[in-house]
Amino acid sequence: MARNMIDVVDGETYDAVEHFSELCEHLDDLYGGYGFARLLEPPQRAAVADLIRSLRGRRPTGIRLHQPVNSSLTLAQGRDVAADLASRAEGEEWLAELGRAMQGLYRYLDELYGGPGAFSELLDSEDRARVAQLVVSLTVT
């Protein structure tokens, strides 16, 4: 849905929608492709956080907090935009919903990365693949 909205928005709203889409794509990668359909259970999240902490502890892993995330916003700016959008008033409800959805993605990614504020860089493709292997193994029933 976010990708479809890109065709009808512009300016800062375009940047926010694009950033939201990129965060979703990152989660898809962590889930092994277009697989982010549900939240992991708390013990599964902890296992993913343990792996990500070990991956991040050995070397820089990818795009950092102040680098653009394949859009005009950095991870830090995206958090600020999400908060701004979430506080939008009447008449801009859809922007407020987008902001709250972005905040939810950040909270979930923080948890997967190890705790509040931990999602400060994107993993590189090799490390995303390792996380995806774990996530797939945890979700196979």
* DSSP line for the chain: -HHHHGGG--HHHHHHHHHHHHHHHHHHHHTTSS---SPPPHHHHHHHHHHHHHHHHHS--SS-TTSB-SSS-BHHHHHHHHHHHHT--TT-HHHHHHHHHHHHHHHHHHHHHTSTT---SPPPHHHHHHHHHHHHHHH--
pTM of the model: 0.85
- pLDDT of 95 above 80: yes
- pLDDT of 102 above 90: yes
Mean pLDDT throughout 43-67? 79
Summarised one tens digit per residue, pLDDT across range 103-137 is 999 999 999 999 999 998 888 889 999 999 999 99
Looking at per-residue pLDDT, the higher value among 121 and 7 belongs to: 121
Q: Enumerate the domain spans of the chain.
A: 2-139
- The per-residue pLDDT for 111 is 97
Q: Which of 51-55, 58-62, 93-97 has the lowest mean pLDDT?
A: 58-62
